[in-house]
């Protein structure tokens, strides 16, 4: 399924009924899922996050903008956050199966519709901007709502859509397409907004204006003000005071967290705050955050502690939450704040069982879960053992020279473990889809054709899942080999079991690939899969034998 994220910001953060009315418009739109509604009384602003198919997301955004125009009156609006209209900004963000070009198209189509049907001037920003001068949201917002009447009279600020006529009730709306934006606040133990602003000027990409010894702005030969760049690219920041919390904050937008990670800015702010005699008490996430941003933070702080970063995702997230102080002003619930955990609909019926329940389920008189799911589980257990040995090696005396390699091995094994655990359920689901296809009616030629197409697709999936497990088993053997060769000697037997279970996963997956192959109608695909599976099996068993021989040789030495 193609998915986009949409994060409209509305200039209302105090009236729950108005906020609910806007949110209901989104919830009532088929094809979208409302993920988060985050109001702020001091900022008088609500950030809403939802995901859906491209067309459904554009429809939901229009309905929400229309409702905001009905319930929000900008003539009486005051708040701490910059704003230009009732719906201040509405960006589209590419997610699964979509590109930035898709989101640019959505932004422009929505902008035209908002201007034509609602009479609200629309500006386009970021990737959807028609000119470089309008890429930056702050530039479009300059002067805010109060300065909008004069701005609309300036030919340089003609709206991208709509007439340059001031709409007193709704103001203007900025619509665009961008990468994932993380809205994030760092909390200080002070009420002094100026101190927060000083740090914000130092860290943000745009930096500050250069001034001479008399405090005058320095200008270049063309008369343009000279700026001193800030510390981080793709970072926007301001300092403000939040009455609700009784403290100052540095409000930050990360426009590309992969270039400038959250933890890097948090650490720098903590250092700068200390130089000003301040203390960072924690931080706050506004809206949602990608899982990888927190995983990267968790790895960073574990490494700083001299520990392995190759731990389960749940532990990395826990470490990130603790280190960044994300519980400082409100409880942080990963299930509600991490976007992938909100939209990940991958089933986990089997993986969610306890060991006895899973074993009981396998033992029943039904063909699934069966060998495919058990093979995937063997692979996950192999990865877990390799990660364990690596983690028992990192930071231990006498193993300093392999520290980085074992940390890397542990991380790779954790990724394999998570992927193979998903395959436990996916294998059983794939079998279920084959059975569903077999039950389709075939009374007419059209029905027979539809049934055959569904059956071919289901059989492809039933073959693809164990083939994926077989491919992963090659990496499992490599992880077990690294653990056996360079891991903690006291865990040698665990590395051996990792190699054995990796081989079992490979053999089991191989069997499941081959039992499904005859059901594929594409002879060329059958031949290619058969060749790949046989090659993978030979390589895995050969490598497994080498690892097992090393383990057994070293175990005999220990006995002597």
Q: Would you say the pTM of this structure is higher than 0.85?
A: no
Contact 261, 184 (CB under 8 A): no
pLDDT given for residue 340 in this prediction? 80
Quickly name the fold that domain 355-559 has.
Answer: 1.20.120
Q: How many CB atoms lie within 10 A of CB 355?
A: 7
Domain boundaries, the chain: 4-177, 182-343, 355-559
Query: E-assigned strands of 212-297?
Result: 227-228, 235-242, 247-254, 280-286
Task: Please give the Cα distance from 152 to 130 (Å, whole number).
Answer: 17
Q: Is the pLDDT of residue 453 over 90?
A: yes
Q: Exposed, middle or buried by CB within 10 Å (0-12, 13-18, 19+), for 335? A: exposed
Active site residue 427: yes
Q: Is the pLDDT of residue 69 over 90?
A: yes
Q: In sequence order, which residues have a C-beta less than 8 Å from that of residue 436 and are 6 or more positions away? A: 454, 458
The catalytic residue among 81, 88, 300, 425 is: 81
Share of the chain above pLDDT 70, in %: 99
Q: What is the CATH number of domain 4-177?
A: 3.30.990.10
pLDDT given for residue 83 in this prediction? 95
Q: In sequence order, which residues have a C-beta less than 8 Å from that of residue 282 and are 6 or more positions away? A: 186, 187, 324, 325, 326, 327, 328, 329
Q: Is the pLDDT of residue 9 over 70?
A: yes
Q: Is the pLDDT of residue 347 over 80?
A: no
130 CA to centre of own chain: 28
| pLDDT confidence bin for 344, thresholds 50/70/90 | low
Residue with tokens 């091995």: 409
Quickly name the fold that domain 182-343 has.
Answer: Alpha-Beta Plaits (3.30.70)
The catalytic residue among 427, 472, 478, 494 is: 427
Residue with tokens 């899982």: 291
| pLDDT confidence bin for 560, thresholds 50/70/90 | low
Q: What is the pLDDT of residues 211-259, one digit of tens each?
A: 988 888 999 888 888 899 999 999 999 999 999 899 999 999 998 898 9
């Amino acid at each position: 399924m193609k998915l986009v994220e949409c994060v409209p910001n509305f200039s209302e953060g105090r009236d729950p009924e108005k906020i609910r009315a806007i949110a209901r418009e989104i919830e009532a739109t088929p094809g979208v899922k409302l993920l988060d509604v985050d109001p702020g009384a001091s900022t008088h602003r609500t950030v809403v996050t939802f995901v859906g198919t491209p067309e459904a997301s554009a429809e939901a955004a229009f309905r929400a903008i229309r409702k905001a125009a009905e319930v929000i009156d900008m003539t009486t609006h005051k708040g701490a956050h910059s704003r230009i209209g009732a719906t201040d900004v509405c960006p589209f963000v590419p997610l699964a199966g979509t590109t930035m070009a898709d989101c640019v198209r959505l932004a422009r189509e929505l902008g035209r519709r908002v201007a034509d049907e609602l009479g609200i001037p629309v500006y386009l920003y970021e990737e959807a901007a028609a000119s470089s001068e309008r890429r930056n949201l702050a530039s479009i917002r300059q002067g805010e709502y109060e300065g909008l009447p004069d701005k609309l009279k300036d030919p340089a600020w003609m709206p991208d859509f709509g007439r340059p006529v001031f709409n007193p009730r709704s103001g203007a709306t900025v619509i665009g397409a961008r990468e994932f934006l993380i809205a994030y606040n760092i909390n200080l133990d002070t009420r002094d907004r100026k101190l927060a602003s000083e740090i914000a000027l130092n860290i943000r990409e745009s930096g500050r204006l250069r001034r001479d010894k008399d405090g005058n702005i320095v200008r270049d030969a063309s008369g343009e003000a000279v700026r001193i760049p800030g510390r981080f690219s793709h970072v926007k920041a301001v300092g403000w005071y939040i009455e609700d919390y009784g403290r100052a904050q540095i409000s930050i937008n990360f426009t590309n967290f992969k270039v400038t990670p959250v933890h890097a800015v948090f650490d720098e702010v903590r250092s700068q705050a200390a130089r000003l005699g301040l203390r960072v008490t924690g931080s706050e996430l506004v809206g949602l955050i990608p899982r990888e941003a927190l995983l990267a933070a968790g790895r960073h702080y574990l490494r700083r502690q001299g520990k392995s970063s190759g731990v389960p995702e749940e532990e990395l997230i826990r470490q990130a939450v603790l280190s960044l102080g994300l519980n400082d002003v409100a409880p942080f619930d990963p299930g509600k704040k991490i976007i992938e955990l909100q939209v990940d609909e991958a089933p986990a019926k089997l993986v969610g069982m306890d060991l006895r329940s899973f074993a009981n389920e396998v033992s029943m008189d039904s063909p699934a879960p069966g060998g495919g799911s058990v093979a995937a589980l063997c692979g996950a257990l192999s990865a877990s053992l390799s990660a364990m040995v690596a983690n028992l090696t990192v930071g231990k005396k006498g193993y300093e020279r392999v520290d980085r390699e074992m940390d890397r091995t542990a991380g790779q094994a954790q990724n394999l473990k998570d992927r193979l655990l998903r395959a436990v359920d996916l294998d059983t689901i794939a079998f279920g889809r084959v059975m569903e296809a077999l039950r389709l009616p075939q009374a007419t030629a059209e029905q027979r054709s539809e049934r055959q197409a569904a059956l071919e697709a289901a059989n492809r999936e039933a073959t693809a899942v164990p083939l994926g497990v077989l491919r992963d088993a090659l990496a499992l053997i490599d992880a077990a080999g690294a653990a056996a060769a360079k891991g903690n000697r006291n865990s040698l037997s665990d590395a051996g079991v990792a190699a054995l279970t990796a081989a079992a996963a490979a053999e089991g997956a191989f069997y499941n690939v081959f039992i499904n192959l005859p059901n594929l109608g594409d002879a060329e695909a059958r031949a290619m899969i058969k060749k790949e599976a046989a090659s993978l099996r030979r390589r895995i068993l050969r490598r497994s034998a080498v690892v097992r021989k090393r383990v057994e040789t070293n175990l005999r030495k220990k006995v002597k």
